[in-house]
Amino acid sequence: MMTVTAARRLRDGRSCFVGIGLPSTAANLARRTHAPELVLIYESGTIGAKPDRLPLSIGDGNLAETADTVVGVAEIFNYWLQPGRIEVGFLGAAQIDRYGRVNTTVIGDYADPEVRLPGAGGAPEIASACREVIVIVRQTPRSFVERVDFVTSVIRGPLTVITDLGVLEPDPETRELRLTALHPGATLEEAREKTGWDLSAVPGLAVTEPPTEAELTALRNLE
């Protein structure tokens, strides 16, 4: 449901900064279903990649072999990402708080952390420069916290958070994340139990449409 929901958010003809894992699966699923002209951009420098299988990493040769062009990493960031030429960016998160701030740096105090995480990578640039950001993360009290332990990335534009329970988006006035849709079988009570703040929901909470047979077939063919 997380992959299919994310794929449906990607419109045909847009440019998308893709990471490995669920973001890559979602982007490639979108290309094989409703968005064949979606432009996939990977951090390694491939622009317009059209992989015939899911890449193992951003350095997978299949990305370069199927791309429209390959440029250096510095060019991807300096000439494509930072000037705002990429429309949609994907992010993961170890923690995300009620205002959509993302932590991928440390759990606990920065000087003496409980866990040292992989760090920022390109996340701060993706968060601030992409015109829209989609965060994919499983919903647990450890990941959905009142306030992140460290602010790695601040998202400037429109934000969608897709979890294994539903979809969250910022309130237009307060900017606090609120539940806008539930996946089939999930409940509001369950979502609130797995959130570290008093999670609110929009009136008339939507239910995500189940995957279609075409989406499931395309998804299985990606494996």
Count of CB atoms within 10 A of residue 219's CB? 19
Q: Which residues of 171-188 are buried (b: 16+ CB within 10 A; e: fewer)?
A: eeeeebbebbbbbeebee
pLDDT value at residue 149: 97
pLDDT value of residue 189: 97
Residue 154: per-residue pLDDT: 95
Position 121 scores a pLDDT of 87
- Helical packing angle, 213-222 and 22-32, nearest 10°: 120
pLDDT, one tens digit per residue, over 30-62 is: 999 999 999 999 999 999 999 989 999 989 999
Q: For the segment 136-182, what is each residue's pLDDT rounded down to a tens digit?
A: 999 999 999 999 999 999 999 999 999 999 999 999 999 999 999 99
- pLDDT tens per residue across span 122-136: 899 999 999 999 999
Categorize the per-residue pLDDT at 20 as very low, low, confident or very high, splitting at 50, 70 and 90. confident
**Structural domain boundaries of the chain?**
2-222
Give the pLDDT of residue 175. 95
Catalytic hit among 43, 87, 125, 215: 43
Q: Is the pLDDT of residue 223 over 90?
A: no
Nearest C-alpha neighbor of 113 from the set 124, 102, 104: 104
- pLDDT at residue 1, rounded to an integer: 95
Report how far residue 38's alpha carbon sits from residue 45's, in angstroms, rounded to the nearest whole number. Answer: 16
- Exposure class string for 111-142: b at 16+ Cβ within 10 A, else e: eeeeeebeebebbbbbbbbbebbbbbbebeee
Topology adopted by domain 2-222: Glutaconate Coenzyme A-transferase (3.40.1080)
Tell me what the mean pLDDT of segment 99-108 comes to. Answer: 96
The answer on pLDDT for 75 being more than 90 is: yes
Q: What percent of the chain has pLDDT over 70?
A: 100
Which of 146, 152, 110 lies closest to 128 in space, CA to CA? Answer: 152
Task: Reply yes or no on whether 43 is catalytic.
Answer: yes
DSSP alpha helix (H) spans, the chain? 2-8, 22-32, 61-66, 73-75, 123-129, 188-193, 213-222
Given a cut of 90, is residue 9 above it in pLDDT?
Answer: yes
